[in-house]
Chains A and B, each alone.
Chain A
Amino acid sequence: MLDFQIMADVFPKLLQGVGTTGKLAILILALGMVMAVPIAYARNAKSMWLHGPANTYILLIRGIPSLLQVFLVYYGMGQLEFVRHSALWPVLRDPFWCVIIALGLNSAAYTAEIISGALRLIAKGPVEAAYALGLSWYQTQLKVTIPLAIRAALPAYENEIILTVKATSLASTVTLMDITGVARLEVSNTYAPYEVFLSAGAIYFCFTTMLSWLLRRLEQRLSIENLKTLNSTPLQNAEAARA
């Protein structure tokens, strides 16, 4: 039933979209991470003026479909006079950057949830010990809290990375030629939706499977059991005892 000739023809063309998909995913995750750290700290802050806006942001982003967010940035921004006359217009006119802004803002909310959850998970003990040793707030964050939080956040963040790679397929709706975009074009050329979308799905599947395999290895690398044998310091021993 499947026409393997079409699949063989289409495959190299689809692979040309991998670059765009990869670039999108990396930039979205980077923007998301840069924004997520301050949002996560604000969310855990005691002051209402900090956690209020952070919670509202997360609530708003999580309540709206990401495809609508892409449309809001790509189609919506052009309607506003002040945006069109601002210095940012050349960026906001480009669908590539629109997708990165929309999905980056989206990823920031989910990543902030993960980070703030991880920060809350960290036991008071090591942090108090760091203060008792005379470390400042910054030093404590850098040397104690963040290394612990990264390990706590990694499994959930791994999931966010995979979801982001999958979400880049939304870029095809605003004319970008990522894997899905190329697939749509090829379907209209070959009239063979089955073959083309199956090939595209296979490429995505290999991409995400490889990625999650790599991330799981990283996770094992960073796990406390391995660190203990590598270079054992009193602090890490204390962590290990807690874990």
Chain B
Amino acid sequence: MTLFSGYGVQLLEGALVSISVAIAALFVGTILGIFLGAVKTYSSKPFRYAVEAYTAIVRGVPDLIIIYLIYFGSTVALTKLTGAYVDVNGFTAGVCALAFIFGAYASDIFRGAIMQVPRGQTEAADALGLRRRISFLKVILPQAWRLALPGFGNLAIILLKQTSLISVIGLEELLRASSVVSGSTREPFYVYSAAAVIYLVLTGVASYALRLARQRSNRGFA
């Protein structure tokens, strides 16, 4: 039996695109989240308020609006800046938008984790004469990671599901691919169900991996 008259491959290719978007956005978003989390914990008031405002906006505005804004907005902005029409590719815009959203939520998680690292650690690093940047990267962050992992894992799973929203700007990820396939096979129920199973497998694998990571990070504790 050929799955969906040979369209099954298209779904799997879509799944690959979803995974790539998720991994790229996770990478960019994590760096953004750590940076902003550090700003929220250590910076002076104006910077901190700016980051708080950014987080509040992401929390209060639907993801779809943010994705549209970044996709259409960057096209218009780049076209105006360069004078020529620039077509922002869906992958880049999608990764930027998801990283932008992820970074806001992650910054709160990292802030919480950084603050939970005992003060004595910072003081010890100071006493050893480490520069602040080194003490943050080599002393605080490795310990904060363990504390941030449960919340970070939840966000990562949410991010994996959020990649489906990128379908609205035309990137052929899993959901978009299923829409295309269901258009040609006229079997939307089966095709979307198949996509649902693929998403379940992806989120299942991701949460299993995160559980392993959590166990590993907790070795030697509790």
A residues neighboring B (CB under 8 Å): 1, 60, 62-69, 71-72, 75-80, 162, 166-170, 172-173, 180, 183-184, 187, 193-194, 197-198, 200-201, 204-205, 208-209
Q: How far is the CA of A80 from the CA of B56 in the complex (A)?
A: 43
A63 touches B65 (CB 8 A): no
Q: How far is the CA of A42 from the CA of B9 in the complex (A)?
A: 39
B residues neighboring A (CB under 8 Å): 56-57, 59-66, 68-69, 72-73, 75-77, 80, 161-165, 167-168, 175, 178-179, 182, 186-190, 192-193, 195-196, 199-200, 203-204
B59 touches A162 (CB 8 A): yes
A172 touches B64 (CB 8 A): yes
A194 touches B69 (CB 8 A): yes
- In the assembled complex, the CB of B131 is this many whole angstroms from the nearest CB of chain A, namely 39
Chain A residues within 8 Å of B65, by CB = 169, 180, 183, 197, 200-201, 204
B192 touches A167 (CB 8 A): no
Closest 3 interchain pairs by CB? A193-B72, A169-B62, A65-B164
With beta carbons under 8 angstroms apart, the residue of B60, B162, B168 that contacts A173 is B168
What would be 28 A-B contacts, judged by CB atoms less than 8 Å apart?
A: A64-B200, A65-B162, A65-B165, A67-B175, A68-B175, A69-B196, A71-B188, A72-B193, A72-B196, A75-B182, A75-B188, A75-B189, A78-B188, A79-B189, A166-B62, A166-B63, A168-B62, A169-B64, A173-B168, A187-B72, A193-B73, A194-B69, A194-B76, A200-B65, A201-B66, A205-B57, A208-B60, A209-B56
Chain A residues within 8 Å of B187, by CB = 79
Chain B residues within 8 Å of A67, by CB = 164-165, 167, 175
- In the assembled complex, the CB of A78 is this many whole angstroms from the nearest CB of chain B, namely 7
Chain A residues within 8 Å of B193, by CB = 72, 76
Which B residue's beta carbon lies closest to that of A191? B76
Which A residue's beta carbon lies closest to that of B183? A75
Chain A residues within 8 Å of B164, by CB = 65, 67-68
Which B residue's beta carbon lies closest to that of A170? B64
B72 touches A197 (CB 8 A): yes
Identify whether the interface residues of A are mostly helix, strand, loop, or mixed: helix
Chain B residues within 8 Å of A78, by CB = 188-189
Q: How far is the CA of A64 from the CA of B182 in the complex (A)?
A: 18
* Known contacts A63-B204, A79-B188; A198/B69 CB under 8 A: yes
A68 touches B196 (CB 8 A): yes
With beta carbons under 8 angstroms apart, the residue of A68, A162, A197, A205 that contacts B195 is A68
* Known contacts A194-B69, A194-B73; A76/B188 CB under 8 A: yes
Q: How far is the CA of A198 from the CA of B69 in the complex (A)?
A: 7
Most chain-A CB neighbours within 10 Å: which of B60, B75, B192, B199?
B60
Chain A residues within 8 Å of B68, by CB = 183-184, 187, 193, 197
Chain B residues within 8 Å of A194, by CB = 69, 72-73, 76-77
Chain A residues within 8 Å of B75, by CB = 193
A72 touches B60 (CB 8 A): no
Which A residue's beta carbon lies closest to that of B65? A201
Chain A residues within 8 Å of B161, by CB = 64-66
Chain B residues within 8 Å of A77, by CB = 189
Given contacts A78-B188, A166-B61, A193-B75, 11 further A-B contacts (CB under 8 A): A1-B80, A66-B161, A68-B175, A71-B178, A75-B188, A76-B188, A166-B63, A180-B64, A183-B68, A193-B73, A209-B60
A201 touches B61 (CB 8 A): yes
Chain A residues within 8 Å of B163, by CB = 65
Chain A residues within 8 Å of B59, by CB = 162, 208
Chain A residues within 8 Å of B200, by CB = 60, 63-64
